[in-house]
Amino acid sequence: MTNISPDLYHQIITHIPIACVDIAIISNRSVLLVKRNDEPAKGQWWLPGGRVYKGEMMRDTAKRKALEEVGLKCEVGPLIYTAETVFEDGPNGIPVHSINSCFLLKIVGGQLELDNHHGDWRCVSQHSFSKFDLHPYVVKCLLAAFLNDTARDVHDLDRDGDGRACE
């Protein structure tokens, strides 16, 4: 897949919605969240994910985003939630309208390593996520992930290499 120029991307987001895939990666009955470095939603806890390329199936996007954004090889499970988001604080001040589809993913390999678009990560459980100020879309994806969590025997994320897994 070929990346498009920033100028063309800005023209596109000015005029049409963008198809995006977000991923709820389950580890130890918790879901991985990342802190965004970029607009929209800069500084917010979010699910990894991003744009679908032309000719790319959404399930393939989910697998690609897991590897690109957090360094994890994942098995793609069910589509668990679909919604639209609109942000006034998009790149270069351009409002962003996205059509988002969230998939449940199970880790099968790799080691957690964030790309440069994310500054931190954390795992939230069904009982802890309400402590955080999360966007309503993220909350609905988390609720759907916990309702659909059939991946009980999964690879545990180890935060600091000290044997500590997600909550």
- Does residue 141 contact residue 22 with C-beta atoms inside 8 Å? yes
Q: Is the pLDDT of residue 123 over 60?
A: yes
Res 166: pLDDT: 61
pTM of the model: 0.88
Enumerate residues 6+ apart whose C-beta is below 8 A from 158: 112, 164, 165
Res 156: pLDDT: 55
pLDDT, one tens digit per residue, over 37-48 is 999 999 999 999
SS3 content of the chain, % helix, strand, coil (to 5): 25, 40, 35
Sorted by where each starts, the structural domains of the chain and their CATH numbers stand as 17-148 (3.90.79.10)
Q: Is the pLDDT of residue 1 over 70?
A: no
